[in-house]
A and B are shown apart, each in its own frame.
Chain A
Amino acid sequence: MQRNVSNTIHNDSISEVTVTERRKSLWKRITRNWELYLLIAPAFLYFLIFHYGPMYGIQIAFKNFLPARGIADSPWVGFTHFKRFFESYYFWDLLWNTLSISLYELAVGFPLPILLALAFNEIKNGFFKRTVQTVTYAPHFISVVVMAGIIITFLSPSTGIIIKFIEWAGFSAPSLLTDPAWFKTMYVLSGVWQSTGWGTIIYLAALSAVDPQLHEAAIMDGASRFRRIISINIPTIIPTITILLILSIGSILGVGFEKILLLQNALNMSSSDVIDTFVYRTGLINVQYSFSTAVGLFNSAINAVLLITVNQIARRTTEHSLW
């Protein structure tokens, strides 16, 4: 408070004095809290080394990386690697697989948590609600390896229980694990099983902000439950929906590649190979560092552009956006 007063007084006097004074007070504000820099130092170093370090390393996408010569001294090759990728026969397959898995997942996986949250919200607090919530949240904590193991076991052609159910229902079961036509559906549905419950939490938080008076007034006017959900609950969670939608579109080329990598096999490759698994294979298995980095850079550049574009559109058309 006192400092502010003295600052304004100095502002009225000669400007040169003000500048030095300000510099002094800024220096004072920095040194007085010097320990805060100590506190943030580990995080600063972590992001510098493990995030900005790799960003510096992105230049090998435009170089011919030779481990012996290091990142800086490897020769530049311009867009050679990008050209090779765009002109390759697998480029469109990879792009199509990545996009279609993502959009499929978005189309099925995005609305379901909203519907389930709206349904949870209509149920009175009590044992039933608590039990259902606990059980539906739980799969979120199953590791991706166990998840892949469950999928493989359940869909195993000779013994899998899901195959058995399909046969009991009188159909002949397709080979869900190896048939490329089924891969994407299996990927998306297992994701729905694992994350729909957990996804409701954020919407339930938003729904708890609904003003009860709105509902009371609507009941007075004779509005049915369904009507009240449509006219009160859904509009309340629209901002949350918008922001989550922007975020998921922003990562549309970032599919859950850890799961895909585990479910991939030689037979379903034509529909399960996505950009990220390709980057892993060419980079770390086939050791084509520069080419793989170029493909990865293409991926994250598209993601960044998509995120910014979708956010712009959201800001223009609605008042909700990330920034």
Chain B
Amino acid sequence: MAAVIKESKTDRLFLICNYLYVAIAFVLVLYPVVYILSASISTPSYVNSGEMWLLPKGITFEGYMRVFENSKIWVGYGNTILYTVVGTLINLLVTLPAAYALSRKDFVGRGFFMGMFLVTMFFSGGLIPTYLIVKQLGLVNSMWALILPGAASVWNIIVARTFFQSTIPIELQEAAHMDGCTNLRLFLKIVVPLSTPIIAVMALFYGVGHWNSYFNALVYLNDQSKYPLQMVLRQILVLQEMSTSAQGAATSGEAAMAMNAKADMAALLKYAVIIVATLPIIAVYPFVQRYFVQGVMIGSVKG
């Protein structure tokens, strides 16, 4: 009896430490998010001086006003929505049919196609050869340069293929064939309607990828009016910071004061713009979290 009590005591100590560890991780992840939220609606001077460190102080919505007035941000927002919708549609149109064909055991050449796709996971042509292809196709400075070079990912094809293999019973396909149903009809009328969960997962994986990407735009777009949101954010969050801090060091006196006021406003705008840019994903995410988790797990079965 004594032994049992002693055991549970060490277990309890262990559990307390465990909860503490998880709680610390939780706070460390949550704090920057809360700080950014609070900073976006606080008076800049409190934020910059460090007086505001957790809860909003001197509430103001000027940062958001500045964001809403900024036409660049809105153009970027519109572009990103367009690129995300069209890009995700193309991703699905390429990924799902290919994954279905690869899921069929009676598909001659399955090994060849799978091998051809898999090689690209381990070896790629690299930045410049890819750039030259895109340029040769005349896609530079068009939205297709952001969409077509990433039209499908091998990983997602594998995930979808695994899903089709494990959820569409082979008997269903045989019965459909008996009834004279063609493969195309089978795919469109039976397989796709049965696969809404995997289609949701794919759409989300690809959609987030499009929403968050900036590098292809940096490489392929010259026209600022075509910039997606992330490129506009890069100008606001990354480039401007460097220029103001460099200038701030060089000036003095009144010029520096004016500079500081401007920097204050710039900082406020930054926090607001971070929220505005990330909100769509963070707002949708808790509702679709289980799909994401499912997607990772289906992938890991085969991975």
Contacts and interface: CB of A to CB of B under 8 A. Distances in A.
Interface of A is mostly: helix
B77 interface: no
B97 A146 contact: no
B125 A146 contact: no
A43 B152 CA distance: 7
Contacts of B101: 36-37, 39-40
A153 B271 CA distance: 9
B104 A293 contact: no
Interface string A204-247: 01100000000000000010111000000000000010010000
Contacts of A52: 116, 120
Interface in A143-160: 143-146, 148-150, 152-154, 156-159
Given A145-B233, A157-B245, A240-B300, A50 B123 contact: no
Contact of A58 (B106, B125, B219): B125
A24 B277 CA distance: 59
Contacts of A262: 234, 238
Nearest to B50: A164
A136 B102 contact: no
B14 interface: yes
B53 A161 contact: yes
A150 B7 contact: no
Q: How large is the interface on A (under 10, 10 to 19, 20 to 34, 35 or more residues)?
A: 35 or more
Interface string A54-82: 11111010000000000100000000000
B11 A40 contact: no
B98 A40 contact: yes
Contacts of A191: none
B131 A283 contact: yes
B128 A283 contact: yes
B158 to A, nearest CB: 12
B182 interface: yes
Contacts of B70: none
A137 B30 CA distance: 11
Interface in B178-224: 182-184, 187, 208, 211-215, 219
A193 B29 contact: yes
A95 interface: no
A152 to B, nearest CB: 5
Contacts of A44: 98, 113, 116
B278 A142 contact: yes
Nearest to A279: B127
Nearest to A192: B28
Nearest to B230: A145
Contact of B97 (A40, A152, A161): A40
Given A224-B10, A279-B128, A292-B128, A149 B233 contact: yes
Contacts of A56: 125, 129
A161 B25 CA distance: 19
Contacts of B225: none
Interface string B21-44: 111011011101101100000000
16 contacts: A42-B98, A44-B98, A46-B151, A47-B120, A53-B129, A57-B132, A132-B22, A135-B33, A143-B277, A145-B214, A150-B36, A153-B267, A154-B32, A167-B50, A202-B300, A304-B122
Given A138-B285, A143-B214, 7 more contacts: A58-B129, A135-B26, A142-B278, A143-B230, A146-B237, A168-B50, A226-B14
A-B pairs with lowest CB-CB distance, top 9? A54-B125, A149-B237, A57-B129, A43-B98, A143-B212, A296-B126, A54-B129, A39-B97, A164-B50
